Amino acid sequence: MATISLTDFEDVRIEAPWGDIVGRWYGNRQERPILAIHGWMDNLGSFGTLIPLLPDYLGVLCIELPGHGRSAHLPAGMRYHVHDYVSIIGRVMKAYKWSKVSIMGHSLGGALGYLWAALAPHTVDLVISLDIVHPPLLTPVYPQVHKLFLNKFAIADERSYEAGNVQEPPSYSLSELRQLMAQGSDNSVPAELAHHLLYRSVTKSQLFPDKFYFSRDARVKWYQQFPMSADLAAAMASRIQDTPYLIIKGTESPYVNEDTLPSRTILAKQNPHYEFYEVPGRHHVHLTNAEEVAKHIVPFLRHHRPPKLANERTKALHQFTVGPELAAVMLSRIKNIPCLMIKASDSPFVTEQSTLADQNPQYEFYEVLGQHHVHLTHPEECEKHIIPFLKLHRPPKAVQLTRTLNNEQVPVERMSKL
C-alpha cells in the first residue's frame, strides 16, 4: 500500500477575523482530505508518526486551533472556548467549499468531531476519534474548577497583553523542553518523541543563545471547557446514527472511561458503522503506537472513503469488456511475444493473468506499490523491471562507426590502417 510522505505537503492559511488559522496539507491535494484536529495544548505535529502510515489516495489537512502551534492568538480579553473551537470546522469547510467533512481528531479535536457530528450530521461522512468520546461530563466540583480557570485566565491575559510588556517567557534548552513536555503530559509524549510537537510550539530566545520558549498562547491553558450532562451526551450520541464512527482508546489512558459508556452503547446499538478498538498506549497513543492505530484507521478509511479514482475507472472499464472466450483467443495469439506486465498494487485493472503465464514462456509479471498511474508516481520501481526486460529482448547492437573516404563509407578501424 502506498502511503503519504511527510515531505509532500503544502502549508496553508485560512483567514479569520482575528488572524489566520494555520495548517499543513499532506499528500493528495486533488480530492477533499481528512481534516485532522489536534488535542489541547498540542499542535499538528502530534500526527507526525501516524500520517506516513495512511494511504496516499487521501490527503490529510492538519489544522492548528487558535492559540496553538502557529495559528493566530485571539485578541486581548477574548477567552478560548470549546464552542468557538467547534465553529472552526465550519470555517474550514466554507474556505474550501466543502459540503461534507471527514474528521480525525485527538483528545479535544476528537471531542470537537463528536459535537460537530451531532450538531450537523448531514455534513459529516466519517469521524475518527483518538482516545476521546465526548467532552467531560458535568461534576459537582465544576463550579470551583470554573472559578479557578477564570482567575488564572485573567492573570494570564493581563500578563500577555499588558501595555508595554515585552518580556520574554521563560526559556529552556531543547533537552529541557523535551523533558518538560514529557512531564507535562505525564509521559504520554515521551521525551524521545517530543520533537514532533516542539518544532511548532517554540520560538528561539532573543536573550539567551541556544534556548527557546513556548510560543503558544499562555491563555490556552485556561480555556473554557464544555462539561456536558449525561443526558445531553446521550442525546448527541443518538443523533450520530448513520455516520461512520471509529473510536480508538489507549489502554493506559483514563479518558475513554465509564462516563462515556452510555454514549458508546448508544453508538454501538444505533449506528451500524460504529467501530471501537483498544490499542496499547497512553493518551497520545496515535503518536507512540502509530502502527497499531493505523491498523484500524486504514481499513476504516478504505471502506468508508475508498479510492475515488479507482471507483470511477472501474465503472469506465465495465463499459468495454470482452467475454472469457474472446479473451482466451486474444491471449493465445501472443504466446510467443515477450510480454512484461507490471501491476499497481492499489489498482483494480489487473486481476487474472494465469492463462498468459501458462502459455507464454517469455511472460513476466511484477507488482509495484501504487495506484493506476504507478509509472508516474513510482518510476524507479517500474524501471527495475522494465530495463532488464528490454536488455534481454532488445539487447544493444554493436555500434559501427564510419567515416566518408572517397565517397565511400569506411569503418573507422579500417581507416586507421590506410
Query: Which of helix, strand or coil describes residue 152?
Result: helix
> Of 304, 333, 364, at which residue does a domain stop?
304
Q: What is the CATH number of the domain that holds 138?
A: 3.40.50.1820
22 with 135, same domain: the answer is: yes
In the predicted structure, residue 242 carries a pLDDT above the cut 80: yes
C-alpha cell, 248:
480508538
Evaluate whether residue 177 is within a structural domain: no
- Per DSSP bridges, beta strands 339-344 and 363-368 are parallel
Whether residue 43 sits in one domain with residue 94: yes
Collapsing DSSP to helix, strand or coil, 405 comes out as: strand
Task: Determine contact, residues 229/93, Cβ cutoff 8 Å.
Answer: no
Report the Cα 212 to chain-centroid distance in Å. Answer: 28
125-181 pLDDT per residue, tens: 999 999 999 999 999 999 999 999 999 999 998 887 764 456 788 999 999 999 999
Q: Which three cell numbers mark 128?
A: 475518527
361 in any annotated domain: yes
Q: In which domain, by residue range, is 109 found?
A: 9-158+223-304
336 and 296 both lie in a single domain:
no
| Whether residue 328 sits in one domain with residue 287 | no
In contact, 114 and 128? CB cutoff 8 Å: no
Residue 333 shares a structural domain with residue 233: no
The C-alpha atoms of residue 383 and residue 364 are separated, in whole angstroms, by 14
**One domain, residues 261 and 387:** no
The answer to whether the CB of 286 falls within 8 A of the CB of 197 is no
Instruction: Please give the tally of structural domains in the chain.
Output: 2
The reply to whether 274 and 133 lie within a common domain is yes
| Amino acid type, 314 | T
324-348 tens-digit pLDDT? 777 777 877 888 899 999 988 877 7
The three three-digit cell numbers of residue 327, written as one number:
479473451
More reliable by pLDDT, 261 or 226: 261
Q: What is the pLDDT of residues 291-317, one digit of tens each?
A: 999 999 999 999 999 997 444 444 444
Are 20 and 78 in the same domain?
Answer: yes
Instruction: Give, rounded to a whole angstrom, the gap between the first and last alpha carbons of the chain.
Output: 64
The alpha-helical segments, DSSP class H, found in 133-257 are: 142-161, 174-184, 195-198, 230-238
Of 107, 129, 263, 347, the catalytic one is: 107
What is the pTM (predicted TM-score) of this model?
A: 0.74
Task: Give the rounded distance of the alpha carbon of 243 from its chain centre.
Answer: 19
CA angle 250, 117, 298 (to 5 degrees): 50
Interval 63-75 mean pLDDT = 97
Residue 264 maps to a domain:
yes
Same domain assignment for residues 120 and 43: yes
Same domain, 369 and 299: no
Question: Which pLDDT score, from 0 to 100, does residue 316 have?
Answer: 45
| Shared domain check, 331 and 294 | no
Does residue 404 belong to any structural domain of this protein? no
pLDDT in tens, 11-31: 999 999 999 999 999 999 999
Helix (H, G, I), strand (E, B) or coil at 246: strand
Residue 280 lies in a domain: yes
**Residue 168: inside a domain:** no
Looking at per-residue pLDDT, the higher value among 105 and 326 belongs to 105
Residue 258 lies in a domain: yes
268 and 297 together in one domain: yes
Inside any domain, residue 203? no
Distance CA 135, CA 225 (A): 8
* 229 counts as catalytic: no
